[in-house]
Structure 1
Amino acid sequence: MRQRFNESLDPWERSTLFLYLNRHGYNGLCRYNKKGIYNVPFGRYKAPYFPEKEMHHFHEKAQRATFMIADFRETFAQTRRGDVIYCDPPYAPLSATSDFTAYDGQAFTYHAQVELAQQAYEKSQAGIDIVISNHATAEMLALYRKSHLEVFNVQRTISCQGDRRKKVHELLAYFPSTLPTFRRA
């Protein structure tokens, strides 16, 4: 199935195979190598969970949304007042050995993180609400100091050794639109 997914050019087939691979792959991991090949090993599940109800609910709620897989600069250039944007960039590394920011062969550098935070602030001044998630490292907390910040713990389940799976701090940075909102009487 993994080979078929990697070779397929059909979006429908790739979508359905991705769901299968994600539910049956090791710990729900999604990983591609530098050649763009999906390479997650098979997991060991007696009864893989398939989130059918959640997917139907998401489908219903997503009807008014536009999803983009694009550089944030391209996405931000298409925005207009009243838009709400959620950015999920490659997270800042928690250590020197956990830098997984080059998923597509183009590293998402610290400079890109700085630019994202700056542009998010600027767009909020133009009437666009922006929410960004990331690790809550000292550097990221400093970058998002102009936002409304929420920090919370998230359980990681990727480590092959269960006793090494731990909670990490993540952040949600909310840049609210600073322009007045007009309400109907």
Structure 2
Amino acid sequence: MGEKAEPILKWAGGKRQLLSELLPLVPNYTGKYIEPFLGGGAMFFALSPENAVLSDCNEELISLYKAIKKDPINVINELQSYVNCEEEYYRVRGFDWKSLSEFEAAARMIFLNKTCYNGLYRVNLHGGFNVSYGKNTKTQFCNPEQIFAASNALKKKKLLCADYKKVLQKYAEPGDFIFLDPPYYQVTERETFLRYTSGRFYGNDQEELAELVNDLYDKGCHLMITNSNHPKLYELYKRFDIKVVQVRRAVNCKGNGRKGEDTIITAFH
């Protein structure tokens, strides 16, 4: 048995801290696992399902997972060529990932994620990674065992860069378990949207998602959705169970702004 797979990226809004709440709720299902807002993949790696469809609209992220799935040794070799210092960080950040090989691009993304400020993934309107250096030269950014474990977990899994609606409409079948972790409903006007891609996810997008969840439930799928504790969600998902859980917001600069509430919505048969 190799090392248990776990997320290889620190992902703002990642579900690692919620796993103790999420995993006991996972239903017995007969179909495949589908996760169309993959992000850091904490839920996927924890479950390690045999049959899975994984997708995200973040092209660089899916390219990273495909490279690790294909050849983890090449990714590790590229990653080990980097040095954790400010000058190197900004040199590497200045690369256009699309101009690099798939393995160079994967190593770049891991390096920047591990050594940037607060482990954020954020891009500007032009799609350029724009987080500053984290200034911790002791941060370990290359963990070969972790990368090999992730590679093994991703073997034989379908990886797609696509809009979540297209993925679900094409692949969702009765008996499947679908885990949805969309960009959260903004609870207050002061909240800053964490820009994972250069697009946005607005209130009408939340309504479209809820409509699709209802349709998929009627089709015979099992669904679990995470979101903020926004009043609108109780209307959108009134057919289903909604559990409120306390969470820590690790990316807020102010300590007193780091506490919050998430909802876990379960639509099970």
TM-score bucket (shorter structure):
0.7 to 0.9
Cα distance in 2, alignment partners of residues 70 and 84 from structure 1: 19
Deviation at 1:9, TM superposition (A): 4.3
Aligned to 1:83: 176
Q: Which runs of 5+ in 1 are unaligned?
A: 179-185
Q: Which of 104, 121, 124 is matched with 1:13 structurally? A: 104
Q: How does 1:172-183 map to 2 (within 5 A)?
A: 172-176=264-268, 178=269
CA RMSD of aligned residues (A): 2.6
Contact 1:6 1:37 in 2 (8 A): no
Aligned to 2:200: 107
- Which structure carries more helix by proportion? 2
**C-alpha distance after superposition, 1:110-159 (max 9, x if no partner):** 11101111211211221222222211121223322322323212211223
Aligned to 2:128: 37
Q: How does 1:127-142 map to 2 (within 5 A)?
A: 127-142=220-235
Q: Which of 189, 213, 218 is matched with 1:125 structurally? A: 218
Total equivalences in the alignment: 176
Q: Secondary structure at the match of 1:124?
A: helix
* Letter in structure 2 aligned against 1:11: E
Contact 1:132 1:173 in 2 (8 A): yes
Q: Secondary structure at the match of 1:117?
A: helix
Q: Which runs of 5+ in 2 are unaligned?
A: 1-91
Q: 1:7 to 1:64 in 2, by over 3 A?
A: closer
TM-score, normalization by structure 2? 0.57
Cα distance in 2, alignment partners of residues 146 and 51 from structure 1: 45
TM-score, normalization by structure 1? 0.79
Cα distance in 2, alignment partners of residues 86 and 97 from structure 1: 28
Deviation at 1:98, TM superposition (A): 1.9
Q: Which of 141, 162, 165 is matched with 1:73 structurally? A: 165
Identity, % of aligned pairs? 24
Verify: 1:2 aligned to 2:93, yes or no.
yes
Deviation at 1:20, TM superposition (A): 0.9
Cα distance in 1, alignment partners of residues 95 and 228 from structure 2: 34
Cα distance in 2, alignment partners of residues 49 and 146 from structure 1: 46
Q: 1:160 to 1:149 in 2, by over 3 A?
A: same
Aligned to 1:166: 258
Q: Secondary structure at the match of 1:18?
A: helix
Q: Secondary structure at the match of 2:242?
A: strand
Deviation at 1:103, TM superposition (A): 4.9
Contact 1:117 1:143 in 2 (8 A): yes
**C-alpha distance after superposition, 1:90-115 (max 9, x if no partner):** 11112113252765444322111011
